[in-house]
């Protein structure tokens, strides 16, 4: 296992001065900055706006999100609270994005309210700066919010999900295979298996004919393998109430653009040494509304089904979109 020396030990002096200045402005703590976010509804199928199913999931509305605030964008991880109202996301540039999800009278996704941006702090209580700021995935386990980072591959444990910035994060140990992994292919998806253990998927660490995955528990990392095909790579994961895992995967080509796939992996198949394949339950590709989907979150429903949220990362590019889509998965 490798802990590392801490992100700011290796910072360039100019970055350190900037971080210190930001911290002084913030008064030594992170402060939420309300921002205005503009919402535009989007259909599931641009060629058939009346369509509302893809695979085994049902579309319950989606929106494109835009803001004039330069800090908005790059959303790569998402957690939606158990009531379906509170949303917390992380960005590629080291910020928390928080919002309240709004629904219409038919419980379809309407938009967001109370939107805000908050600086992510490191283990030294300074704002994270590149290359330490590239947050990719989040998960709540035992009431605490965990964030997986790439470029400088590591795992932080923050505070309660409603306000994870209220405590100094802890740097958690990781196996050398992850910590020394590729800068743009480490832990891209992570979820809690429901018992305190975390299941993590890599985007670019090969294992056999597939990709590396791990069950993380305290200082122990058990190896698994995820089958990989058709050019899809893991970007997000979430655990259903019965213990099955939904895995979000993304594919991009210059000819075909972006595509997304959701696989369902049975809880019974998740064990050390296992080769995970799962069942494909939905694939989104043009003319369906799609983009660079990197985040997935689920909310259990009283009747046994689940709400499934997908969030895309626009990479702060005018050529991409930030999309929030909501589906229903029936058990």
* Phi, psi dihedral angles at 253 (to 5 degrees): -140, 150
Residue range 78-131, pLDDT digits in tens:
999 999 999 999 999 999 999 999 999 999 999 999 999 999 999 999 999 999
Q: What is the pLDDT of residue 30?
A: 67
In this prediction, residue 207 carries a pLDDT of 92
Encoding tokens for residue 142? 């035992």
Give residue 32's pLDDT.
Answer: 77
Query: Residue 20: pLDDT above 60?
Result: no
**Cα separations in angstroms, 132 against 10, 148, 150, 154, 195:** 10, 11, 8, 9, 29
Domain ranges of the chain: 7-329
Residue 49: CB atoms within 10 Å: 10
Q: From CA 51, how far away is CA 42, in angstroms rounded? A: 12
Residues 6+ apart with CB under 8 A from 141: 192, 196, 198
What residues contact 43, with CB distance under 8 A and at least 6 apart? 49, 51, 62, 289
Residues in CB range of 10: below 8 A, 6 or more apart: none
- In tens, the pLDDT along 192-219 reads 999 999 999 999 899 999 999 999 998 8
Q: What are phi and psi of 25, to 5 degrees?
A: -65, -40
Two tokens at 275?
Answer: 């080769």
**CB under 8 A, 24+ apart: contacts of 27-31:** 28/125, 29/121, 29/125, 29/165, 29/166, 30/96, 30/118, 30/119, 30/120, 30/121, 30/127, 30/165, 31/118, 31/119
Rounding to the nearest 10 degrees, give the CA dihedral for residues 121, 298, 259, 75.
-20
> 14: buried, middle or exposed (CB in 10 Å: 19+, 13-18, 0-12)?
exposed
Tell me the whole-structure pTM to 2 decimals.
0.91
Q: What is the model's pLDDT at position 218?
A: 85
Per-residue model confidence as pLDDT tens digits over 204-257 = 899 999 999 999 998 889 999 999 989 999 999 999 999 999 999 999 988 889
The domain at 7-329 falls in which architecture?
5 Propeller (2.115)
């Amino acid at each position: 296992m490798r802990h590392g020396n801490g992100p700011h030990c290796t910072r360039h002096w100019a970055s350190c001065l900037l971080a210190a200045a930001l911290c002084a402005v913030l008064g030594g703590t992170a402060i939420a900055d309300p921002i205005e976010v503009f919402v535009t509804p989007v259909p599931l199928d641009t060629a058939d706006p009346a369509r509302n199913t893809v695979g085994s999931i049902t579309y319950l509305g989606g929106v494109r999100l835009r803001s004039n605030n330069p800090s908005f964008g790059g959303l790569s991880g998402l957690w939606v609270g158990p009531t379906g109202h509170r949303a917390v996301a992380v960005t590629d540039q080291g910020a928390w994005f928080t919002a309240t999800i709004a629904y219409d009278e038919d419980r379809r996704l309407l938009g967001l309210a109370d939107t805000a941006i908050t600086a992510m702090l490191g283990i030294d209580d300074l704002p994270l700066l590149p290359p330490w700021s590239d947050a990719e995935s989040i998960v709540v386990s035992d009431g605490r919010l965990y964030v997986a980072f790439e470029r400088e591959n590591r795992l932080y444990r923050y505070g309660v999900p409603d306000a994870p910035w209220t405590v100094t994060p802890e740097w958690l140990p990781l196996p050398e295979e992850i910590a020394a992994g590729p800068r743009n292919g480490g832990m891209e998806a992570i979820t809690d298996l429901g018992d305190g253990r975390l299941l993590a998927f890599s985007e670019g660490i090969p294992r056999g004919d597939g990709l590396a995955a791990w069950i993380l528990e305290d200082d122990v990392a058990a190896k698994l393998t995820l089958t990989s095909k058709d050019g899809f790579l893991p970007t997000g994961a979430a655990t259903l109430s019965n213990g099955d895992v939904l895995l979000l995967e993304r594919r991009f080509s210059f000819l075909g653009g972006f595509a997304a796939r959701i696989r369902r992996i049975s809880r019974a198949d998740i064990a050390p040494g296992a080769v995970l394949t799962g069942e494909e339950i939905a694939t989104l590709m043009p003319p369906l509304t799609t983009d660079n989907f990197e985040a997935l979150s689920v909310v259990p429903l009283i009747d046994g089904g689940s709400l499934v949220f997908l969030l895309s990362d626009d990479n702060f590019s005018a050529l991409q979109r930030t999309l929030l889509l909501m589906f229903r998965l029936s058990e």
